[in-house]
Amino acid sequence: METFSKAMINYNKEGLNKETLIDLYKSMLKPRLIEEKMLILLRQGKISKWFSGIGQEAISVGVTKAMLAEEYILPMHRNLGVFTTREIPLYRLFSQWQGKASGFTKGRDRSFHFGTQEYKIVGMISHLGPQLGVADGIALASKLQNKNQVTAVFTGEGGTSEGDFHEALNVASVWQLPVLFCIENNGYGLSTPTSEQYNCKDLADRALGYGMESHIIDGNNILEVYTKVSALAEDIRENPRPVLLEFKTFRMRGHEEASGTKYVPQDLLDTWAKKDPLENYQEFLKNEGILDEALEVKFKEEIVHEINEHLDLAYAEEVIIASESEELNDVYQNHLYQEVSPNKKTEELRLVDAISEGLKQSMERHDDLVIMGQDVAEYGGVFKITDGFVEAFGKDRVRNTPICESAIVEAAMGLSISGIKSVVEMQFADFVTSGFNPVVNYLAKSHYRWNQNADVVLRMPCGAGVAAGPFHSQTNEAWFTKTPGLKVVYPAFPYDAKGLLASAINDPNPVLFFEHKALYRSIRQEVPTDYFTLPLGKASLLREGNDVTIISYGAAVHWALNTLDKHSNIQADVIDLRSLQPLDTEAIYASVKKTGRAIILQEDSLFGGIASDISALIMENCFEELDAPVKRVASMETPIPFINQLEDQYLSRDKFEGELLKLLAY
């Protein structure tokens, strides 16, 4: 065995002292012994699932040891060695896996799907790819704050097939971000071999296409991993840049234990078993006279004792008692609204000018606020909202991005993890589909999952009426009002837009801020010149009357007002919701109980739109006060057409008058 070990892995201990060599051994031994215990507990039904990293410990340990304690690591579900090397108390890990309160997610997520600011670890989500872009954001924060820090992020060879991988590498390269992209190439994505994942010899070669440095490292050689990554990290701190690392290794057990390894040829398993990173290194240390049998036994006994002691602590902890109020209260980070009253001096502004002015004043108020988006810098954005911002705030804070919505949303999340606010402009709200996953699965769920807020505003130019066709005209707010953890704001007037944008930026939760393109230059209003705020979740009562309650938002508010201008005899309460999540149900109920009739007007198509939920809420809470059925008015159940006569037919604008009169005549 001794000769074979030397032949399989060549160790070079040059420059490493005995203490370091032993420390690396103990750091690999610990996750291995924990895993062996977990596999027993899994068979006993004491944990629900396990993703084994046996055979890959050298990568997790070597990379983590090469990093500074204050540098972020974004691991995967096979990187137990990252968590143990960062010295997270084992009882907390065990409690996490048992769904107990001493874990990191209050029983809301499992295994390694968590992060911890205390240990500078940001865990994965099941979609794998988004954490790569999040690493970009953390690394960007390091550059902006002059921290000279490296961020390390892990993925498997299967994850490199996702678009997020390519977007994240491209952004990191364009912005020269200090990121170590660590690919654990372990042979299989679940049961799919590498030959069916990619068609190149080495994944490291992909770095060439992004103008990025890359290295191939023996992932089973702890000394090679530690020394090479240490040298790279030290250099990157001084010369910030991304580096792609491909660690050649193998997954010795199933994707997770239930899936097994029957699809893996036995000779392949046998070959890699001989390359076991722990056994080979242990043999090397013995041959070098650094480790002997007694010391090996001592280390194992110490770790086993620690495992059992901490398991007892986790077992002794009471199970979580479900609390509806606690669950609901943790969806958003608590935020105390701070009112800044408007000054008396005003100027007439278009909606587009009010948004621009509000954004500029927020940039002045928050001196690290970052704006990101396509063409937002020198060009000023396609709607010229950020025109002149580069001159005022510099390119570090006003950043043109590649066309990669997913990676930029993820980078915004990374900035938030590092304590920096950001505003991301979707060039058109329609394009958010290219970044949908990180919006609804990362931004929306992070605070609920592990108490990490997403301090991000997504600006969403939206809406029809400008003959822009199916891909530049959608008003897609209902995709997001459905998702707990997101806030949705949709102003109809310049005054509201300016004040609400300031509040959205102040709010530490993710906010989608919808801006109707057809209103940008068609609606004018007197707006206070200085910075001011308006509360999210408070509707505006634009007109008062006892005949009917009209509920709307965005451009449809103006359609409703124009209709009432034609019918001076109709005395209506007109509620401009302004904010769709949170929703001002109090204002809605009070009005409907007064008038006895309600009609909801939205630009979006009918089925699944927010009008449906508002209608249901009214029926459930105001039924006895109603004198007529609640009416919804919405656009056609088709995509949005281009040519004017088709778009006019599509929109609910011209349908509203007839439906309102029918309701009043009921």
**Cβ–Cβ < 8 Å for 409, 456:** yes
Q: CA–CA separation, 571 vs 553, rounded Å?
A: 19
C-alpha distances in Å from residue 453, one per residue of 14, 77, 158, 331, 507: 44, 22, 29, 10, 10
C-alpha distances in Å from residue 349, one per residue of 152, 352, 490, 522, 539: 46, 8, 18, 10, 21
Run of H or E residues at 358: helix 351-365
Residue 529 DSSP code: S
Q: Is 472 a catalytic residue?
A: yes
Run of H or E residues at 34: helix 18-43
| CA dihedral (496, 498, 501, 502) positive or negative | negative
CA angle centred on 44, ends 40 and 46, rounded to 5°: 95
Task: Name beta bridge partners: 257.
Answer: none
Query: Of 472, 516, 558, 567, which one is the catalytic site residue?
Result: 472
Run of H or E residues at 243: strand 243-248
Q: Is 179 helix (H, G, I), strand (E, B) or coil?
A: strand
Q: Which two tokens stand for residue 470?
A: 């199916």
Describe the strand order of the beta sheet including 540-543 as a list of residue ranges. 540-543, 572-576, 548-552, 598-605, 631-635
Q: CA–CA separation, 183 vs 204, rounded Å?
A: 9
The pairing of strands 511-516 and 243-248 is: unpaired
Run of H or E residues at 424: strand 422-425
Catalytic residue positions, numbered: 472
